[in-house]
């Protein structure tokens, strides 16, 4: 079970990096293999920096083992307390240089929790979401159509369910804001067979680059000024806030003694905050707040 998933994840990581390098044309991913002591885990972190298109892109594979599930996991599932665990996945965050190209995030993962004398508990999770700085309706529609297509072979209502879960998850309560336009988010998936759940995770993982690459290619050469750049850096602050305050993957990694450099590779290389920023009325920046950061049906959910 673990070997099968590991093979898929490493292939997925390699394919995404190859395709992103082809889009950037200048920078390439460095590969950083790492290993934790006492057979507690290992991974392959791939990072691209200072590219023509991507200011920073991180695509991380890791497998982590532990004797006790951390609080970030057992708080929602107390039946996991006292179990050893194996967790493996690919997680990525892409920070483009051009403010008209959205930031994107994707993650696919598998957990196995075991306890002597009891049946193992396993589940899949993952998803992908898009964070524009300057929105385009056609990009939002294409992104969500791809998400819906990924769910098509599975149960009716799968896209609607995981689209709403994504909207709910990537919500910053302290700002009363969505992080972006959403996509898919699922967790605790163990309904039916292992094979069907694994197939769904693969559909989601494979769909990410199909959705993101065309958007990057369409927007990467648009002209922008320092005004758009400064707004991009300001909005990147929201990304930092979410990942450090709410993100369960970040908390899980830190609570299990994961590799800090790999866990925090999701943070943007440059960012700024501004006290009580307010966009000008009827500006493209105001449209981001009033239109794109409001959950909506970008495609027919049925």
Binding residues for substrate: 91, 107-109, 257-259
Give the three-state DSSP class for 154. Answer: coil
Annotated binding site: 91, 95, 105, 107-109, 144, 174, 257-259
Give burial (CB, 10 Å; 0-12/13-18/19+) of 150: buried
End-to-end CA distance of the chain: 33
Gap between the Cα atoms of 268 and 200, Å rounded: 30
Annotated binding site for a divalent metal cation: 95, 105, 144, 174
Active-site annotation holder among 46, 83, 105, 203: 105
Q: What is the DSSP letter of 191?
A: S
Length reported for the chain: 302
Catalytic (active site) residue 105? yes
Give burial (CB, 10 Å; 0-12/13-18/19+) of 287: middle
Alpha-carbon dihedral sign for residues 268, 269, 270, 272: positive
232 vs 8, 54, 221, 242, 286, CA distance in Å?
34, 14, 16, 16, 13
Neighbour-count burial for 43-75, b at 16+ CB within 10 Å, e otherwise: bbbbbbeebebbbbbbbbbbbbbbeebbebbbe
User: Any idea which residues carry the catalytic annotation?
Assistant: 105
């Amino acid at each position: 079970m673990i070997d099968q998933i590991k093979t898929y994840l490493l292939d997925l990581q390699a394919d995404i990096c190859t395709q992103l390098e082809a889009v950037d044309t200048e920078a390439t991913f460095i590969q950083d293999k790492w290993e934790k002591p006492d057979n507690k885990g290992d991974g392959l972190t791939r990072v691209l920096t200072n590219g023509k298109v991507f200011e920073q892109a991180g695509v991380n594979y890791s497998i982590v083992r532990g004797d006790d599930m951390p609080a970030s996991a057992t708080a929602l599932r107390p039946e996991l307390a006292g179990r050893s665990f194996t967790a493996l996945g690919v997680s990525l965050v892409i920070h483009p240089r051009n403010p008209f190209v959205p930031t994107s995030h994707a993650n696919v993962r598998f957990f196995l929790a075991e306890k002597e004398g009891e049946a193992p508990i396993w589940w899949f999770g993952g998803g992908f979401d898009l964070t524009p700085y300057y929105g385009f309706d056609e990009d939002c529609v294409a992104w969500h159509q791809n998400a819906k297509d990924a769910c098509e072979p599975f149960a009716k209502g799968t896209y609607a369910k995981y689209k709403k879960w994504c909207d709910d998850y990537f919500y910053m309560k302290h700002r009363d804001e969505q992080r972006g336009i959403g996509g898919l988010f699922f967790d605790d998936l163990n309904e039916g067979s292992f094979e069907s759940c694994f197939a769904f995770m693969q559909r989601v993982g494979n769909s990410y680059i199909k959705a993101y690459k065309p958007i990057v290619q369409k927007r990467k050469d648009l002209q922008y000024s320092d005004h758009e750049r400064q707004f991009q850096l300001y909005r990147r602050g929201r990304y930092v806030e979410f990942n450090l305050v709410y993100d369960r993957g970040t908390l899980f990694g830190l609570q299990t003694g994961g590799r800090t450099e790999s866990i925090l590779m999701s943070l943007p290389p440059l960012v700024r905050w501004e006290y009580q920023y307010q966009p000008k009325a009827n500006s493209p920046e105001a449209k981001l707040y009033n239109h794109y950061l409001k959950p909506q049906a970008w495609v027919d959910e049925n």
